[in-house]
A and B are shown apart, each in its own frame.
Chain A
Amino acid sequence: MSAIVDVVLGIVTSIGGFIEAGSISTSAQAGAEFGFQLLWAIAIATVMLAVMIEMSGRLAAVSRRTIDAAVRERFGISFQWVPLAAELGIDTLLLSAEIGGAAIAVKLLTGIGFLWWVAPVGLLVWLILMLFGFSVIEYGFGLLGLVTLSFVYAAYHLRPPTHDLVRSLAPSMPHHDLVRYAFLSVSILGATVSPYLLNFYSSGTIEEKLTEKELWVNRTTAYLGICFGGVVSMGVLVTSAMVLGPKQIIVDSYDQAALMLVPVFHRWGIALFACSLGVGCLGAAVEIAINAAYAFSQALGWSWGANKARSDTARFSAAFTLITLAGTLIALLGFDPLRLTMISLALTVVIMPVIVLPFLALMNDDRYVKTHTNSAFGNAFLAGLTLLGALLAIIVLPLEVLGG
Chain B
Amino acid sequence: MRTRTSATPRALTALLITAALGACSSPEKQLEQSDKKIEGLRATAQTIGQAWLKGEVSERYARAALQQTLQLLDKERATLTASPRLLLDPRGASVSRDAEHLSRVLAALIDDAHHGDDASARRHLADVAGSRGSP
In the complex, the answer to whether A270 meets B57 with C-beta atoms within 8 Å is yes
Cα distance A391–B15 when bound, in Å?
A: 11
**A178–B18 CA distance with the chains assembled, in angstroms:** 8
Q: Which residues of B contact A398 (CB under 8 A)?
A: 23
Q: Name the one of B8, B16, B43, B60 contacting A247, with C-beta atoms under 8 angstroms.
A: B43
Does B81 make an interface contact (CB < 8 A)? no
Contact call A259/B44, Cβ cutoff below 8 A: yes
Q: Do A269 and B15 touch (CB < 8 A)?
A: no
Binary interface profile of A, 255-272, with partner B (CB < 8 Å = 1, else 0)? Answer: 110110010001101100
| Count of chain A residues near B, Cβ 8 A | 33
Asked if B51 is at the interface (CB within 8 A of a chain A CB), the reply is: yes
Contacts of B96 in A (CB 8 A): none
| A253 part of interface (Cβ distance < 8 Å) | yes
Chain B interface residue bracket vs A: 20 to 34
Residues of A within 8 A of B61 (CB): 108, 111, 255, 258, 270
Cβ-closest chain B residue relative to A404:
B79
- Interface-side segment among B62-70, B83-91, B100-108, B117-125: B62-70
C-alpha spacing A388/B7, complex, angstroms: 13
Q: Is the CB of B25 within 8 A of A250?
A: no
B37 within 8 A of A: yes
Q: Is the CB of A253 within 8 A of B19?
A: no
The tally of CB-CB contacts under 8 A between chains A and B is 86
Whether the pair B22, A179 counts as a contact (CB closer than 8 A) is: yes
- Choose one: A111, A182, A392, A396; the contact of B60 (CB below 8 Å): A111
Q: A residues within 8 A CB of B48?
A: 259
30 contacts between A and B (CB under 8 A): A108-B64, A178-B15, A178-B19, A179-B19, A247-B46, A248-B36, A248-B40, A249-B44, A249-B47, A250-B36, A253-B69, A255-B64, A255-B69, A256-B65, A256-B68, A259-B44, A259-B47, A259-B51, A262-B51, A262-B56, A262-B57, A267-B56, A269-B56, A269-B57, A270-B57, A270-B58, A270-B61, A391-B12, A399-B22, A404-B79
The reply to whether A111 and B18 form a contact with Cβ atoms under 8 Å apart is no
A322 interface residue per 8 A CB criterion: no
Q: Is the CB of A253 within 8 A of B68?
A: yes
Contact check, A267 vs B43: say whether CB atoms are below 8 A apart.
Answer: no
